[in-house]
Amino acid sequence: MAYLTSWNGTSVTEFLLLGFSDTPEMQHFLFALFLIFYVVTLATNFLLLITVSTDRSLHTPMYFFLGNLSFLEIIYTSNIVPRMLTGLISEEKTISFMDCMIQFYFFGSLGGTECLLLSVMSYDRYIAICNPLHYTTVMNSNMCVWLAASSWISGFLITLITVLLMISLTFCGPNEINHFFCDFSPLLKLACSDTYLFEKTSFILSSSLTLIPFLLTVVSYTYILSAVIKQASGTRSKKAISTCSTHLIVVTTFYGTLITMYVVPAAKHSVDTSKIFSIFYTIVTPMINPLIYSLRNKKVREALKRLVDAKLVFWK
């Protein structure tokens, strides 16, 4: 284990990410499985991002935010998966203290930004269904850019405070993280100094990025559901439900895993269970999100078909 002697004692300079099973056969299987997931995640999100960017029929607020979400998923999964894959096939499982903090920073920032973007997308659906006559006025291009930029800036700035507080803690050993990336709880368990104030401050900061957007999303869909029930036309109701169902599936999947992982007391699940849930929101969810949007959305499917047809014509 690597340590560095400083004025306040002995500090950890690197961490050891224990990852998954020590069985070589299992590690090779997991490497192949997660590599496939990662490639599919990159391919589908890049394809969706290109489609939304190039097809004029998708140049609307909803797909603008969807493009932001796809771009986020690419960075989010790339922050964790490549190092995890390296650890599965290599004996080198260490990560420097600063690299660990950087990984934790991007993980927290992008996770918080995703919560905010999902909330913004639910607000967009609320305006489209509950105030359709004012939709183009409210969700104009300036408003869309402002909402997206605010989500990104807020996610990165608020998480920066948490990371700076984390760095100020003393880590004097042991340095083994029983996880496949630098997550909040495993890091906190290794701190030697008093973490009470840090935990309370972090809870307040993280709530502003997770709990508040979640509640705003719930409120938006409550109003949407109420509006759909009141609509006399069955056709309009079905169209509204179809428009929102895709986003609602993504929201349910994302928050479902987060709530299970971070709200349910740690005593309720083992370390291995925590790793499984972490796989869902770091690998599986970024992979299935573009598949859900493309497979369930007629406009996206049609745009994808036009993109593929255009590429085929070009290569001929």
Query: What is the DSSP annotation of 70-111?
Result: HHHHHHHHHTTHHHHHHHHH-S--EEEHHHHHHHHHHHHHHH
Q: What is the pLDDT of residues 192-242, one digit of tens each?
A: 888 888 888 888 888 888 888 988 998 998 888 888 777 655 555 566 666
- Angstrom CA distances, 228 to 17, 121, 161, 244, 263, stand at 49, 18, 41, 11, 31
Give the pLDDT mean for 20-39: 86
In this predicted structure, the answer to whether residue 274 has a pLDDT above a threshold of 90 is no
- Angstrom CA distances, 253 to 248, 257, 280, stand at 9, 6, 9
Q: How many helices (H) and strands (E) does the chain have?
A: 13, 5
CB-hemisphere CA count at 13 Å for 157?
A: 7
CA distance 56 to 53: 8
Q: Domain limits of the chain?
A: 3-315
Run of H or E including 5 = strand 3-6
Q: What is the pLDDT of residues 92-114, one digit of tens each?
A: 788 999 999 999 999 999 999 99
Nearest to 16 by CA among 181, 135, 165, 168: 181
- Is residue 83 within 8 A of residue 181, CB to CB? The reply is yes
> What does the pLDDT read at residue 6?
38
> What does the pLDDT read at residue 236?
58
User: Average model confidence (pLDDT) for the chain?
Assistant: 83
- Is residue 82 within 8 A of residue 17, CB to CB? The reply is no
Give the pLDDT mean for 267-281: 71
> What does the pLDDT read at residue 280?
83
In this predicted structure, the answer to whether residue 4 has a pLDDT above a threshold of 50 is no
CA distance 32 to 37: 9
Which of the following CATH numbers is that of domain 3-315: 1.20.1070.10, 3.40.50.300, 3.50.50.60, 3.40.50.2300? 1.20.1070.10
Rounded (5°) CA angle 14-19-21: 140
